[in-house]
Structure 1
Amino acid sequence: MIWPAEDLWQALVAWQPGLTVEVLPQIDSTNTELMRRARAGQNDPVLLVAEAQTAGRGRLGRPWHGQTGDALTFSLGLTLMPRDWSGLSLAVGLSLAQSLDPKGALGVRLKWPNDLWVAQPGTPSAWGKLAGVLIETALTAGAAADQARYCVVGVGINIAPPQASGLSTAPLGWQQLSPQATAPSTLTQVALPLLKSVLAFERDGFAPLQALFNARDALHNQTVSLSDGRAGIARGVDLDGALRVETAQGIERITSAEVSVRPQ
């Protein structure tokens, strides 16, 4: 594959001085690699792309493998110091959705807290998973716990229709919605807006994005079950990005650290 690394670098470095763009033919996981570097004291901003991943990870350690050309897998690493980290994965997901489907005409929606879903054609109640986000952080050298962290924003987007079975949400490929899409063209589509979104989040937090997220919320007014046994109706997210679930006890705030959410 031919990657527009030079053009991407020129666009990105204007917003994040010192940033580099690396494309590797294969690696275990772009997130794992950048976290290894961070623990070794390498905190330079970087966009690391892998044509293939052998041990990619999603939320809660779930595997996410990307074969060459079938998926776009990359991680953006940079040092951040937001006032509040709450809602970063939602901001990243929103940025991806807006880049891929600016007007929402293709049906790209956000499944709290870190997935992109698309309604399957002809089956409005069934969803396909298009993409996922995994965010990890590491303290920078000499920093206190409440100070700057090296943040790794990992993104996996299915490009070709995936061959998978037995999953609670069937995977869906971007080429099913945009037939001419490739991993390099999709990276060009999402990378710069993503960097801008992350920098805006550092400055402003999640609150300015609340309404935009709720407008694309795949769980809105859906009955959902929580991993701790509770159930209720999803009522959007609050200013901090917590999911609001209406249960028998009233509206409860759910954070990504507490539960996993699935439509019933």
Structure 2
Amino acid sequence: MSDLLAHVEAVWQAVVPDLPGFTVEVLPSIDSTSSELMRRARAGLMEPVLLAADEQTAGRGRLGKGWHSKAGQSLTFSLALPLAPADWSGLSLAVGVSLAESLHPDVRLKWPNDLWLHQRKLGGILVETASNGTSVGSAATHPRLVVVGVGINIARPEAAAVSALASPDALLPAMAPAGLSEVLVGLTAGEALARVAPALVRDIQAFESQGFTAFAERFARRDALQGQSVRLSDGTQGTACGVSPQGALLVQTDQGMQAVTSSEVSVRPC
């Protein structure tokens, strides 16, 4: 039995009382857990499911970046949930808050979707939504399927392997990697999944009813960029001043306060 499979029952038991119909699946290898759940959604399968894989051969990150994933050295999973929040703004930040709090006190959040450990990238988040195309009426009353993809380094990958997966037209170099084993020696991918999955489901459900407002203070406590000099991918520089009530990054520039919302913008400390 694989390490992930050994923890499936515990994850399911922790989640299903509050989420009827929830299932957990583990595959030895797949191109991408998020790609698979999006394929299912397009086929009309909208049930809540957590899909984990020992290995991903074509993991996806934001802005077309790949994700380094090797069996036993990383935790890669995607969570699909029907969701109908009044406002989707800030969902990826809420996901990051949940993961960071479940993992370790030293884990910080780099806007908009990176987990940091000691100023290095520990993990990433990719949030996508899909509809089966049969709903009529407002989005607030007809759920879409949200697919939250998560990749977390258990062992620290080699920097060269991470750099090789960067988008060829990336304006900024890949971040140096970190591994959870640096602060949680001996922790396995299955144990990490059992740590984060139940709380993640609860927090996404809380986001649906309360929005990002319920997570703003929690995000601020983990904000890796607060007060830091930052450079946007378009060359703009300024000082990070937290996030807005909708989850936009606030940057004080020479031209004034700028609210950064575009998913096409990368941010790095100067």
Q: Is the 8 A contact 1:51 1:67 kept in 2?
A: yes
Counterpart AA for 1:139: S
Amino acid corresponding to residue 152 of structure 1 in structure 2: V
Which piece of structure 1 moves more, 226-235 or 71-80? 226-235
> Which stretch of structure 1 is more off in the superposition, 8-17 or 22-31?
8-17
Answer yes or no: is 1:223 the counterpart of 2:222. Answer: no
Structure 1 CA distance for aligned equivalents of residues 239 and 204 of structure 2: 30
Q: Partner letter of residue 25 of structure 2?
A: E
Q: 1:59: which partner in 2?
A: 62
CA distance in 2, matches of 1:143, 1:254: 32
Trace 1:58-207 onto structure 2 (pairs within 5 A): 58-101=61-104, 104=105, 107-119=106-118, 127-144=119-136, 146=139, 147-165=142-160, 166=163, 167-207=173-213
Deviations 1:213-251 (A, max 9, x none): 111111111111112221111000111100000011211
**Whole-Å Cα distance in 2 between the matches of residues 116 and 205 of structure 1?**
21
Of all paired residues, the percent bearing the same amino acid is: 55
Equivalent position amino acid for 2:174 in 1 = S
**Residue 258 (structure 1) shift:** 4.6
- The structure in which a higher percent of residues are strand is 1
Report the Cα distance in structure 1 between the residues aligned to 2:225 and 2:251, rounded to whole angstroms. Answer: 10
Say if 1:63 and 1:168 are closer, same or farther in 2 by CA, change over 3 A: closer
* C-alpha contact (below 8 Å) 1:140/1:148 kept by paired residues: no
| Aligned equivalents of 2:128, 2:79: Cα separation in 1 | 11
In structure 2, the residue matched to 1:124 is none
Q: TM-score, normalised to structure 2's length?
A: 0.90
Residues 229-240 of structure 1 mapped to structure 2, 5 A cutoff: 229-240=235-246
Q: Is the 8 A contact 1:233 1:246 kept in 2?
A: yes
Q: Which SS does the other structure have where 1:209 is aligned?
A: helix
Normalised by the size of structure 1, how large is the TM-score? 0.92
Unaligned runs of 5+ in 2: 164-172
Q: Which 4+ residue blocks in structure 1 deviate beyond 3 angstroms?
A: none
Counterpart code for 1:235: C
Matched, 1:20 2:23: yes
CA distance in 1, matches of 2:225, 2:231: 11
Secondary structure of residue in 1 paired with 2:218: helix
Corresponding pairs, count: 253
Equivalent position to 1:262, from 249, 255, 268: 268
Structure with greater proportional helix content: 2
| Cα distance in structure 1, aligned partners of 2:125 and 2:58 | 15
Mapped partners of 2:38, 2:81: distance in 1: 11
- Aligned counterparts of 2:19 and 2:125: Cα–Cα separation in 1: 21
Which one is further off, 150-159 or 221-230? 221-230
